Structure 1
Amino acid sequence: MLQLGCTNESTRPDNFIRLAKNSGKSGQAVFEVDLSRVSSDGLAKPDASEPADWERTFHVHAETTPGVDWRELPPVQGSFWVVNNLLTFEPLFPLQAGINYHAVFESAKAGAIVATLRLEAPPAKRETIVNQVCPTANALPENLLKFYLHFSAPMSQGRAYSHIHLLNAQNEKIALPFLEVDEELWNPDGTRLTILIDPGRIKSGLLPREQDGPVLHQGHSYTLKIDATWPDANGAPLKHGFTKQFGVTAPDVEMPSPARWNLTTPEAGSTSPLTLDFPKPLDHALLQRLLWIEDAGKHSVEGQVHVRDAERQWAFTPEQPWTAGSYRVVVGTGLEDLAGNSVARPFEVDRVQRPDDAFIPSHVTLQFTIGN
């Protein structure tokens, strides 16, 4: 869809120079000059008599360089033709939406007649949605550390916190529940945003918690609300808003323990998934990054990871059928639960107080065997 617009820069016969749809190329535009208006409006005819000469009489300049007068820029390249007193200029390359194009018609009598024209981008379609919010469970610990917001397409960035709200059971907004960092925590393609609940109101002994108390309270219910007005990367608002309702349970202060995980192995020759089931939900993003499978030669096994059962299960499906032999699950000790407790240390413990942390390994392993 092509939308045409204009702004007046100088007095000229109305609609003497205009933008029009290019009948030969869908979605593109051409410049038209109504030559029948030249004599009827008292303007002298231009000197040009052949189409090849029109470039001296009619030229277009794109306002593409900030701080540089458009008159100093070279004209847009293209081709001319005249049919039934209508001069048409077709740019060599399609015009860009949102850029001013200054079209100049050199009249021997009236001097330069300038029309400033532009293409307006059509309204972007409202197609982007919130795919999911993690954690996906509807019961979350009082010391919950973060949310992951997953979108179906890249989002606009820079004003995320104005579109995200935490409401109490009375539908009242909770003041400043999130740690609003200057550089928003997006993944590289702009489809996942990490929102941190203010850690200063989670960790015991810190001033924000002492003054304002925790953001979440055990036994209470809350709603995370995402506004439909939040624009995606194309400027279109979300197709619809999103809400996540959840209740709050007791604080979680226990470290995840791989020794307590339930490992289910597949059969050799199959591509059935290997699964790990956890006693409690773990961090959705870290489950996809800090768990992997290695064979007996310590080579990574290629495959797909799926996080299921409200982040209580990790499933790995290999690209090639399993072969009989020894394997191991490698667990990065930075893997966390929903409260930021990692395999290496509890969230509440200050690293300065634990000098022995330097001896914590970067990973631990779970051995398993696939039989014939």
Structure 2
Amino acid sequence: MQFRLLQNDTWPKALLLVVLGFFLPAQGFCQEPLRTSQGLFIPTGSLGTLLPEDCEVARVGSPIPAPQYPLLGKWTNTDSGVWFHPTGRLLPEATYVLYHAGQAAWKFPPIGTTARTAKVTIYPQVEEVPQNLLKITLVFSEPMREGVAFEHLHWEDAQGNPLPLPFLDLSPELWNRSNTQLTLWLDPGRIKRGLAPNETQGVPLAEGVEYVLNVSDTWPTRRSSRLAQGAYIRWKVGAPDREKPTPEDWSAEVPKGPEASLAIDFHEPMAYAVLQDVVLVRRHDGGDWLSVPGTFHISPDNRQISFLPSEPWAPGTYEVLVYPRLEDLSGNNLYKLFDVDLDSEEEEEAAPWLTTFVVKE
């Protein structure tokens, strides 16, 4: 399938959302088109419906107006989107515009002009993880391109030798709504005893062994930049954790002033991906309990979570609830263990953990 790459010196200001003939990803989120040294990439669902024969790519600043002297190129479908590989090379210093039916649909800036500011943090930030670790979370400072995680993750032993990625290959990947947080599952079928993958392949992590997870700085952002720098973390693998979290060991530090934070200490690392969704702070207002808006912050080792309200604490009675689906690093919650006998997976009754405090006048 051949398409034309045109040179042009105009950039119409009208922006037309166009589709590449694909449905939106299952998550309902779209990525932005991306320019690389190899060509132009338009992710599935990033633009609206378009007719390929009406597509053109033009270079801004060319002395030759479109549609004269078009450059030929080839479009290639992939699982995550469509690539345009020009017959001739794209000029690194030039800006290119994607047109559909004569209207501008996307602008590709010159390579290297988009500042690389995105950062990534890997959780949990602990020295030792349980042998049945279930989830790892990557938190980015800006929206990232989805569908390419395994291309930019590297799993190694303590000597730096590459190992196969231990993560479950999910499509779509488990991003949050803003594409700034990605949850990686270690293969549950290999972790859970009694399942065929566990018996044939063994567990993903070996007790007593050290592993290193590397995140490459080649990971592209949605705005066609990349990570400012990569990141890595080293974990030593300890014994498996097959016990539920113990709420009786949890403690809360109530705010000491109207603009101070509330803090909860779980005394063990919890799953980052779940922790931020299971804590509720509410205030008694007459006969009703009203949720208090604010911001949560999770400690690097996932042992504590703090809460700062959007407005100073008003006088009154407050409750802090932690719901039973909170998980530890091995996926155990207050209802049940993650790794249990398949014949006895009934959930036990569990109530939210609750603490109360009063803010005085």
* TM-score under structure 1 length normalisation: 0.66
Q: Which structure carries more helix by proportion?
A: 1
What's 2:283 paired with?
295
Separation in 2, partners of 1:349, 1:7: 58
Separation in 2, partners of 1:321, 1:182: 42
Shift of 1:67: 4.6
Q: Does 1:281 align with 2:269?
A: yes
Shift of 1:280: 0.4
Identity, in percent, stands at 33
Separation in 1, partners of 2:152, 2:170: 15
Please give the residue correspondences for 1:127-146 in structure 2 after superposition, counting only pairs within 5 Å.
127-146=116-135
Query: Is the contact between residue 186 and residue 194 of structure 1 (CA under 8 Å) also seen in structure 2?
Result: yes
What's 2:240 paired with?
251
Rg bigger for which structure? 1
What's 1:66 paired with?
51
Q: CA RMSD in A?
A: 3.4
Separation in 2, partners of 1:368, 1:65: 57
Q: Would the alpha carbon gap of residues 333 and 69 (structure 1) be closer, same or farther in structure 2, given more than 3 Å must change?
A: closer
Query: Is the contact between residue 255 and residue 341 of structure 1 (CA under 8 Å) also seen in structure 2?
Result: yes
Separation in 2, partners of 1:332, 1:146: 19
**Aligned partner of residue 337 in structure 1, secondary structure:** coil
What's 1:97 paired with?
97
Out of 212, 232, 241, the position equivalent to 2:201 is 212
**Match for 2:280: what amino acid?**
W
In structure 1, runs of 5+ residues without a counterpart are 1-5, 9-17, 27-63, 72-85, 90-94, 103-117
Shift of 1:331: 1.5
What's 1:203 paired with?
192
Query: Is the contact between residue 283 and residue 289 of structure 2 (CA under 8 Å) also seen in structure 1?
Result: yes
Q: Would the alpha carbon gap of residues 353 and 371 (structure 1) be closer, same or farther in structure 2, given more than 3 Å must change?
A: same
Shift of 1:101: 9.4
Deviations 1:321-371 (A, max 9, x none): 33454332111211101110112111112576244x2x625x513132226
**Match for 2:210: what amino acid?**
S
Q: Would the alpha carbon gap of residues 21 and 145 (structure 1) be closer, same or farther in structure 2, given more than 3 Å must change?
A: same
Deviations 1:211-270 (A, max 9, x none): 222221222211101122222223333332221112122211221122210111224x62
Q: Does 1:239 align with 2:233?
A: no
What's 2:155 paired with?
166
Out of 295, 299, 305, the position equivalent to 1:308 is 299
What's 2:254 paired with?
265
Q: Would the alpha carbon gap of residues 130 and 7 (structure 1) be closer, same or farther in structure 2, given more than 3 Å must change?
A: closer
Residue-pair matches, total: 281
* TM-score under structure 2 length normalisation: 0.68
Q: Does 1:123 align with 2:114?
A: no
What's 1:155 paired with?
144
Out of 313, 328, 337, the position equivalent to 1:322 is 313
Separation in 1, partners of 2:278, 2:189: 26
What's 1:366 paired with?
354
Deviations 1:175-217 (A, max 9, x none): 2411001211111121211111111121122222222222212
Q: Does 1:229 align with 2:218?
A: yes
**Match for 1:255: what amino acid?**
K
Query: Is the contact between residue 271 and residue 322 of structure 1 (CA under 8 Å) also seen in structure 2?
Result: yes
| Most deviating of 303-312 and 125-134 | 125-134
Separation in 1, partners of 2:54, 2:320: 63
Query: Is the contact between residue 328 and residue 365 of structure 1 (CA under 8 Å) also seen in structure 2?
Result: no
**Aligned partner of residue 98 in structure 1, secondary structure:** strand
Separation in 1, partners of 2:197, 2:163: 15
Query: Is the contact between residue 262 and residue 307 of structure 2 (CA under 8 Å) also seen in structure 1?
Result: yes
**Aligned partner of residue 154 in structure 2, secondary structure:** strand
Query: Is the contact between residue 126 and residue 238 of structure 1 (CA under 8 Å) also seen in structure 2?
Result: no
**Aligned partner of residue 331 in structure 2, secondary structure:** coil
Query: Is the contact between residue 192 and residue 340 of structure 2 (CA under 8 Å) also seen in structure 1?
Result: no
Separation in 2, partners of 1:294, 1:7: 58
**Match for 1:301: what amino acid?**
V
| Most deviating of 118-127 and 220-229 | 118-127
Q: Does 1:192 align with 2:192?
A: no
In structure 2, runs of 5+ residues without a counterpart are 14-48, 57-62, 67-94
Q: Would the alpha carbon gap of residues 319 and 176 (structure 1) be closer, same or farther in structure 2, given more than 3 Å must change?
A: closer
Separation in 1, partners of 2:293, 2:185: 32
Q: Does 1:347 align with 2:332?
A: no
Separation in 1, partners of 2:293, 2:328: 25
**Match for 1:322: what amino acid?**
W
Q: Would the alpha carbon gap of residues 100 and 212 (structure 1) be closer, same or farther in structure 2, given more than 3 Å must change?
A: same
